[in-house]
Amino acid sequence: MKNISEVLQLSTKFLQDRGIEKPKRLAEELLAWVLGMKRMDLYLQFDRPVEEKELAALREPLKRASKGEPVEYILGEIEFANCKISVDKRVLIPRPETEILVEMIKKSAKGSVIWDICTGSGCIGIALKKALGSQVVLVDICPNALEVARKNAIQNGVDVEIVQGDFLEPLKGRKADIVVCNPPYITTKELLSLSPSVLDYEPIKALDGGERGTLFYERLAALLPSHLNPGAQVYLEIGSDQGALVKEIFKGGPWTKMSLEKDWARHDRFFFLEMQ
């Protein structure tokens, strides 16, 4: 019977031979998940035997990982801003940078009505509901994505409104104090250069921001003002090279504040607006 150390070595080699990035880390995550342990605890129990039924349970996740499927989809969930968020191929995998956006809003939010537009898995709105207790509306055009968002709301114990429709269309006649949006912002041309783990598995509609990558910011600039209460705030995630372009799109609107904020890599990643 093989022990944890031996299984890790074999699993790492299996993934490495198939050209998978960070094979050791991935092998650790999968084995820890199968054994119901924390990844670092594997190193405290290197000599622990791995039973045949545990090896059998590891084979299918390893096979999926060897084909490039993201580990988040294999495990079915991700930790995000103090929430457990379920993910599958119906929604994008939340990125760590987006947690910065959640923290920004938690620190500076004014008002009680929050809309999370292009919500996908619901991770942003659910995290804000959990932290602030505000009235939160999750909006997405994709009913399949909203099924995942609904599941995430339930498993995180929060009561949010879920609305299906194209962008702001289903919110006619309503107004918000805070709007957050992490829309598709990759140019149609750049989609072709994405890694296979993204292009082959994550939903393309949630990535494609049109020819310039700014389609949804242009729509927001045109439609948002009539949906905002006085003093409302808008928080957007943007592409790392889109800061100046997005700022230009919103120039001349009814805003008293406009600012770009950076991510951990010091790239422009977030755009903040405040209404008159």
Residue 80 has pLDDT above 90, yes or no: yes
Residue 193 has pLDDT above 90, yes or no: no
Question: Average model confidence (pLDDT) for the chain?
Answer: 96
Residue 142 has pLDDT above 90, yes or no: yes
* pLDDT tens digits along 197-233: 898 999 999 999 999 999 999 999 999 999 999 999 9
User: What gap in Å lies between CA 226 and CA 160, rounded to an integer?
Assistant: 23
Average pLDDT on 93-97 reads: 95
Contact assessment for residue 134 and residue 125, using Cβ atoms and an 8 Å cutoff:
no
Average pLDDT on 38-59 reads: 94
Which amino acid is it at 93? I
Residue 192 has pLDDT above 90, yes or no: no
CATH (one of 3.40.50.150, 3.40.50.720, 1.10.150.120, 3.40.50.2300) for 91-275: 3.40.50.150
Contact assessment for residue 72 and residue 22, using Cβ atoms and an 8 Å cutoff:
no
Lowest mean pLDDT among 46-60, 64-78, 133-147, 182-196: 182-196
The CA-CA-CA angle for residues 27, 28, 30, to 5°, reads 65
Residue 156 has pLDDT above 90, yes or no: yes
DSSP state of 186: B
Domain ranges of the chain: 4-68, 91-275
Residue 101 has pLDDT above 90, yes or no: yes
Average pLDDT on 30-45 reads: 95
Sorting pLDDT into bands at 50, 70 and 90, what band is 104? very high
pTM above 0.75, yes or no: yes
- What is the model's pLDDT at position 199? 87
> What are 13's two structure tokens?
């080699």
Which residues are within 8 A (CB) of 203 and not within 5 positions of it... i.e. 6 or more apart? 89, 90, 91, 92, 142, 145
- What is the model's pLDDT at position 133? 95
User: What gap in Å lies between CA 254 and CA 151, rounded to an integer?
Assistant: 37
Sorting pLDDT into bands at 50, 70 and 90, what band is 248? very high
Please give the CATH number for the structural domain made up of 4-68: 1.10.8
CA dihedral of 59, 65, 66, 67, whole degrees rounded to 10: 120
> What are 8's two structure tokens?
């890790």
Residue 127 has pLDDT above 90, yes or no: yes
